[in-house]
Amino acid sequence: MDREVAQPGRVLRSGRRGRRFESSLPDHFPEAPENQRNLMVLIGMIDVNPMTKSGSFFAVNTILSQTGEKMATITKRKTGWSVQVRRQGFAPRSKTFATKSQASVWAREQESQMDRGELPSRKRLSSVVTLGELIDRYLEEVTPKKLSRVSEALRLSKMRLTPMCDLPIAMLYPTQITCYMDKRLKTMKPATVKRELGLIHHIIETATREWDLPIVSNPVKRVRQPALNNRRERRLEVGELELLLGALSTNRNPYIRPIVLLAIETALRRQEILGLTWQAIDLGKRTAHIPVTKTGKPRTIPLTDVALSILHELKGDETRLFPITVNSFKHSWRRVQKRSGLLDFRFHDLRHEALSRFCELGLTIPELSLISGHKDPRMLFRYTHLRADDLASKLAGRSWKMEQKRVGRPSG
């Protein structure tokens, strides 16, 4: 049986009950582009359910995706009418308007500009957009959602002034990234430079995945990362705690001393301590809830007897335990360092000290991770620095055979 084929100038359409009939093309149709002619002919050959029109909907969307011609999509949102124009070979464009008519007019204007070649194509887009423009958009859309938004905004603002940011993404090669890295390593520590490279990497990945920018490959992936050697084993030595307490006693800010002592008893980070509220403290259960953490996962920690006594003596406001700013604490801590003579002792080292003390008290790795918030035991080992001489004292006068005999087991 011969198949019925649509000839140029006529379209096979579906009528009621599936009966087919011919329909002449409009007068203006022969001048339409070839892909649009094929699109209309194919749509006419689809059998449409006259009740649901589901066949027509499926056909139009399928054929549009196959031909690469996508019409504008207009959607009602809470903030207005959102329109998105997507066409193969061009970057998607979107905007929100107060009325649907305004959205339709803008969509037609964008499609007309694409037809006339007035908008940059996807192939040209990466040759036009610079790294600095990506940083500007990242600062506006992504950075404000992060906990580290203040420090990240400062870091990106400084990075924005470098010559590398004036280069188009298509001209950004690993060579430029390496030159930036080598120059920064002369004045900054490897950990800082590695964070900056990670930030550039994430900006380019965001532009590729979420902003639909045609970037062939991320140049940061092909750059050798700086070697890190930032392991710290700094703990309070004999007599240093007394020096620290003496310097704290002369500080005029009444919150600095309890903050330092609480850090030793809880292993909390600076930002976690400054963010503590009375609502998060349960004196009956002897716990403190930390809703905002570095890892993004809330946790609840136990409170020692010393930590409870510190909390009982506090005279904070009705909401926060320590109603001071981060900068205020930084300035006070620098003065404590100078007065105590412990210039190489950082506040974060108190977290090392606390976790090491908990480990020496016999807490297991799972128990330590509950306090510290680490999920990876390897990361926890970085903060748990046991002294070899302390372990030697534990092993002094002990042997495996003696322990087996003590518990009543054969030593073999």
For 185, counting Cβ atoms within 10 Å of its Cβ (0-12 exposed, 13-18 middle, 19+ buried), the class is middle
The backbone torsions φ and ψ at residue 13, rounded to the nearest 5 degrees and listed phi first, read: -110, 165
For 352, counting Cβ atoms within 10 Å of its Cβ (0-12 exposed, 13-18 middle, 19+ buried), the class is buried
pLDDT at 411: 58
Q: List the CATH code of the domain at 127-222.
A: 1.10.150
Domains 127-222 and 240-387 share a fold: no
pLDDT tens for each residue of the chain, 412 residues long: 444 444 444 444 444 444 443 443 344 434 444 444 444 433 343 343 433 333 333 333 333 333 445 568 899 888 899 998 877 666 678 889 999 999 999 998 988 887 776 665 555 566 678 999 999 999 999 999 888 888 899 999 999 999 999 998 888 889 999 999 999 999 998 989 999 999 999 999 999 888 878 787 899 999 998 887 666 778 888 899 999 999 999 888 899 999 999 999 999 999 999 999 999 999 999 999 999 888 778 999 999 999 999 999 887 677 889 999 999 999 999 999 999 999 999 999 999 899 888 888 878 888 888 898 887 777 777 655 566 777 787 788 878 777 777 777 775 5
Per-residue pLDDT tens for 317-375?
778 899 999 999 999 999 999 999 999 999 999 998 998 888 888 788 888 888 988 87
pLDDT at 228: 76
Q: Assign residue 411 a region: left if phi > 0, alpha if psi is -120 to 50, beta otherwise?
A: alpha
Q: In the sheet where 287-290 sits, what is the strand order? A: 281-282, 287-290, 299-302
What distance in Å separates the CA atoms of residue 177 and residue 75, rounded to the nearest whole number?
A: 41
R_g over Cα of the chain: 33
Per-residue pLDDT tens for 119-159?
655 555 666 789 999 999 999 999 998 888 888 999 999 99
Selection from 342, 384, 356, 383 nearest residue 248 by Cα: 342
Domain ranges of the chain: 1-69, 127-222, 240-387
The structural architecture, per CATH, of the domain 240-387 is Orthogonal Bundle (1.10)
CA atoms within 13 A on the CB side of 90: 22
Neighbours of 230 (CB within 10 A): 10
Active-site residue set: 269, 294, 348, 351, 374, 383
What token pair was written down for 411? 């030593």
74 in Cβ contact with 103 (< 8 Å): yes
CB neighbour burial string for 262-288, b if at least 16 within 10 angstroms, e if fewer: bbbbbbbbbebbbbbbeeebeeeeeeb
What distance in Å separates the CA atoms of residue 164 and residue 161, rounded to the nearest whole number?
A: 8
What distance in Å separates the CA atoms of residue 109 and residue 79, rounded to the nearest whole number?
A: 22
Distant-in-sequence, close-in-space partners of 275: CB < 8 Å, separation ≥ 6: 290, 292, 320
One-character DSSP codes across 213-227: ---S--GGGGSPPPP
SS3 252: coil
pLDDT at 400: 78
